[in-house]
Structure 1
Amino acid sequence: MNFTALLPRRIAQLLGTLALAGALAGCASSPSVQGTRLDSTPRIAVISAFAPELTVLLPQVQQPVKHSINGVEFTTGTLQGKPVVVFLSGISMTNAAMNTQLVLDRFHVSHIVFSGIAGGVNPGLHIGDVTVPARWGQYLEWLMAREDQPGKYTAPGWMQAELTLPAYGMMHPRPVEVRSAANPKITQKFWFEADPRMLAVANGLATVPLEHCHASHCLKERPRMVVGGNGVSGQAFVDNKAFREYAFKTFEANVLDMETAATAMVAHSNGVPYIAFRSLSDLAGGGDGANEMDTFMHLAAANSAKVLQAFLAAWK
């Protein structure tokens, strides 16, 4: 075969090589591959775990611009006059940690605010109340201890020094290992503190009117806002009276959920201030009948969103 016959094939090969190089170059410059920031405006990250919580907030965002990263939709704009980036973390500790880090990597985030529903643990609180804990811990970071004798459990000797909290049967709560830009050495930590300045602003929001009826369902107690105390997060949906009592007694927790402490840990590692507003949709198994979440979820989400918006309006 002569050169003239080979020419079309050579051209096709060359064009294919150039097309591949162009595709690779396009990927290299794509924000989704490089992880470059999509927005340079300092913003407050507003996070909710699932759709009913965010449905209340998204229509209030002014000048919304949507960005999709790894299938997560981030909406930038302003809320109560403050620049924000609003998104769903997804339910669970893993989703919360992963997508909190994602928003920090891709946007210029100055503060983090979590808004949503949760299960009440403190028997002095009621459905519809909005809690703003001063610190959050990962209470389901467990050791499953060895049963040496029926009903008697023993932890490995090398681990016993870190087991400072009471166990629930064979299950012993443990601190998590953490490091940060400020302290790169691995340390153990159970509680992750909310930002004191943000808590101080939240303390001034006691007069925010909270909903006490949704559809045909009204609460027996008028909801109120409680700032301070503890919140705990873990991988389980809790609807068990005995375990609820254990969580209150052991961690002195007002509330439990499945995301906030994971976001708090990521905020700590990145040196970003955070706060969380969680309204009680149910009593985590402490109610008289069936779990109340499905009945009061929308009311609780609305109350949390009301407090969040009042917080943003008051934030300087």
Structure 2
Amino acid sequence: MTRLITALLTLLFVLAPARAELLDATPRTAVMSAFAPELVTLLAATRDKKMVSVNGVDFTLGTLSGRPVVLVLSGVSMVNAAMTTQMLIDRFKVDALLFSGIAGGLDPALHIGDVTVPRRWGQYLESHFVREGADGKLQPAPWASLPYPAYGVIQPSNAYVRQAGKTEPLRKFWFEADAGLLALADKVVPGVKLDKCAANKTCLATEPKTVLGGDGVSGPAFMDNAGWRTYLHGTVGADVVDMESAAVALVAEQNGVPYIIFRSVSDLAGADPDENRMHTFMALAASNAAKVVTAFLAAMPVAANPG
């Protein structure tokens, strides 16, 4: 019997999934962007670069603003962002996570080129497509946890968040950025001078500014619709929209990693007067976000994380 038990335990050990291999022992600040144009400025400024690839995902190790970093593209949209964030946390010693990228502006007070640093992020398309009754009224499922009124039949839902030691998940919509990192941003970000004109001499109509606080939302859809823009700002209270940040926020919180996200407005998410202007101002917006991230990294404490 003892031999049988030993054999079974050995088999279970062999068949158990291997833990992710730690690829670097140095504590590093992670810097993420969704796709290449958002990360190009930060990669160019990184010194002593070394690349490590895992399952087609390239991680760049180096020093940026005098701080050890690991840079990576999350990939576009929520599933890619969640997967890459978990890979990052599993394989590197991440002391804090920063995201640098572009976003659609929802708040009419925001202009293209502005850099926002939201206090929290939610998933607006974590939602229910709600049943309509014979009288035309919506009839949500009895187990639904729906924090905001519907837009048409689509009603945002609270996300499911698993908790250690508890069988039932926590239901919530918002994921808070790290308070210590936000406090540091409040000191550093207002002093960063943003660019008004792109390298191709295309210039903005207004002088870009930094905006701290407020809320951001994310979903697996490119949002370029005036009706949704009005709803997300007026009903949900969001200021910017993108396709990755809330997924990164959920994974970071689940793993106890402090995070903060910097998003520069590249378009008005459906309110551009003629057509979506993301491709016109993408490089300028990405560069402005990168300038803020670079200054923020330089101000971060060297030893302990500020959270």
Q: TM-score, normalised by structure 2?
A: 0.89
Equivalent runs, 1:140-159 vs 2, <5 Å: 140-149=125-134, 151-159=136-144
2:265 corresponds to which letter in structure 1? L
Are the aligned partners of 1:153 and 1:169 in contact in 2 as well (CA < 8 Å)? no
Aligned twin of 1:168: 151
> Out of 99, 104, 125, which is 1:119 matched to?
104
> Out of 187, 205, 209, which is 2:170 matched to?
187
Aligned twin of 2:53: 68
Are the aligned partners of 2:147 and 2:158 in contact in 1 as well (CA < 8 Å)? no
Supply the RMSD in Å over aligned alpha carbons: 1.7
> Out of 181, 184, 196, which is 1:201 matched to?
184
Q: Does 1:212 align with 2:196?
A: yes
- Whichever of the two has the greater Rg, that structure is 1
Cα shift at 1:146:
1.1
Unmatched 5+ stretches in structure 2: 1-13, 302-307
Equivalent runs, 1:232-311 vs 2, <5 Å: 232-311=217-296
Cα shift at 1:149:
3.3
Distance 1:150 1:283 in 2: 36
Are the aligned partners of 2:147 and 2:173 in contact in 1 as well (CA < 8 Å)? no
Cα shift at 1:34:
5.0
Cα shift at 1:180:
4.2
Cα shift at 1:40:
0.7
Cα shift at 1:216:
3.1
Q: 1:116 to 1:183 in 2, by over 3 A?
A: farther
2:282 counterpart SS class: helix
Q: Percent identity?
A: 54
2:131 corresponds to which letter in structure 1? R
Aligned twin of 1:104: 89
> Out of 195, 209, 214, which is 1:229 matched to?
214
Residue deviations 1:152-210 (CA, integer Å, cap 9, x gap):
32112332xx2231100111110111024587751111100000111111112212110
Are the aligned partners of 2:116 and 2:263 in contact in 1 as well (CA < 8 Å)? yes
Distance 1:62 1:177 in 2: 40
Aligned twin of 1:20: none
Are the aligned partners of 1:181 and 1:271 in contact in 2 as well (CA < 8 Å)? no
Whichever structure has more helix as a proportion of its residues is 1
Are the aligned partners of 1:143 and 1:174 in contact in 2 as well (CA < 8 Å)? yes
Distance 1:76 1:181 in 2: 31
Q: 1:49 to 1:119 in 2, by over 3 A?
A: same
1:191 corresponds to which letter in structure 2? W
Aligned twin of 1:130: 115
Q: 1:181 to 1:308 in 2, by over 3 A?
A: farther
Cα shift at 1:248:
0.1
Cα shift at 1:62:
1.1
Distance 2:110 2:260 in 1: 20
Cα shift at 1:97:
0.3
Unmatched 5+ stretches in structure 1: 1-27
Matched residue count:
284
- Name whichever of 80-89 and 175-184 sits farther off: 175-184
> Out of 54, 73, 76, which is 2:39 matched to?
54
Equivalent runs, 1:28-39 vs 2, <5 Å: 34-39=19-24
Are the aligned partners of 2:163 and 2:170 in contact in 1 as well (CA < 8 Å)? no
Distance 2:255 2:52 in 1: 22
Residue deviations 1:243-297 (CA, integer Å, cap 9, x gap):
1000001221110000000000001100100000000000000111100101000
